[in-house]
Structure 1
Amino acid sequence: MWTKDKIMTRQQLPVTLADWRAQGRKVVFTNGCFDLLHLGHVDYLEHARHLGDALVVGLNTDASVSCLKPGRPIQDEAARARILASLAFVDAVVLFGEPTPLALIELVQPDVLVKGDDYAIDGIVGHELVLNRGGQVLTVPLVPGYSTSRIVERIKSVSGF
């Protein structure tokens, strides 16, 4: 499979989800901007994938990243999606442009919803939907010291920007 084949539209994703569920696979969902993919992202996504059998990553569009983080993203959504899709433990990447991933979570109906441990369970968008379906909402530990913002600041400091 080509990595670009893991990047799916909302129309393509339900067919893939149905196939996975027919195989008895447990579907995990997480989301984020994933700008300048770094060790913290890789560790987080790998942990998320090990909580089930298939990992769907909701990826913020460029426009939604700009609303959340002025001056960003550094990499466009096509690049960020392809880089995420290249990770062996990511099974699908789907873009979303809404302020939250709730509509995408409603579409995916994940068995497990995951965010980093900087979130409280009741602060995770979609937690009620997943819990009401009998699913799990979990947090995974973040690798201390790794963030895109920190990397950007370091680049600025060593380059004199």
Structure 2
Amino acid sequence: MSKDKIIERKRLKEIIQKLKSQGKRIVFTNGCFDIIHIGHIRCLIGAKRQGDILIVGLNTDSSVSCIKPGRPIIPQGQRAEVLSTIEVVDYITLFDEDTPYELIKEIQPDVLVKGGDWDIKDVVGADIVKEVHTVPFVEGVSTTEIIRRIQNLIF
């Protein structure tokens, strides 16, 4: 069942240690994933191509609201469940901090991946991992833009 992909941090750390002992390459990406769109999907697919196991760090509702006032639109449980149905995603764990730095430090992935709107030198946790990659940004596609377009239709 896809909900089995949603794992607590402590358990995830144990799973990753086991996978690494089997020679698996662990890739990490993170985000709010508030309204899933093609940019998210392409980023996840691109991230998965960098290794064997893709871990997604998902901002909790309180974390999202700190960095994006008025959000999230979709509650964290639903966002996690939607992510869990995406084939390339192996595990999802939630984090409550503003950034995933502590989570990255805990789980020690081999690779970090972010969307192309990030400069590699600005990727949180880049000082912890061996590799950082970006996936090409899909111009004009963002959750904020989708929300704006919906508001324009309604108002």
TM-score range, shorter chain: over 0.9
How many Å separate the matches in 2 of 1:111 and 1:129? 9
Q: Which residue of 2 aligns with 1:159?
A: 154
Q: Which residue of 2 aligns with 1:140?
A: 135
How many Å separate the matches in 2 of 1:58 and 1:42? 15
Q: Which residue of 2 aligns with 1:74?
A: 73
How many Å separate the matches in 1 of 2:120 and 2:143? 23
Q: Which residue of 2 aligns with 1:23?
A: 22
C-alpha displacement at 1:48, in angstroms?
0.5
Q: Which residue of 1 aligns with 2:52?
A: 53
* Number of residue pairs the alignment of both structures matches: 155
How many Å separate the matches in 2 of 1:65 and 1:79? 14
Unaligned runs of at least 5 residues, structure 2:
none
- Segments of 4+ in structure 1 off by > 2 A? none
How many Å separate the matches in 1 of 2:120 and 2:40? 19
Same amino acid, percent of matched pairs: 49
Provide, for residues 96-123 of structure 1, a one-character-per-residue CA deviation record: whole Å limited to 9, x for no partner. Answer: 0111101100112111111111111111
TM-score normalised by the chain length of structure 2 = 0.97
Q: Which residue of 1 aligns with 2:98?
A: 99
RMSD (Å), alpha carbons: 0.9
TM-score normalised by the chain length of structure 1 = 0.93
SS at match of 1:114: strand
SS at match of 2:9: coil
How many Å separate the matches in 1 of 2:121 and 2:139? 23
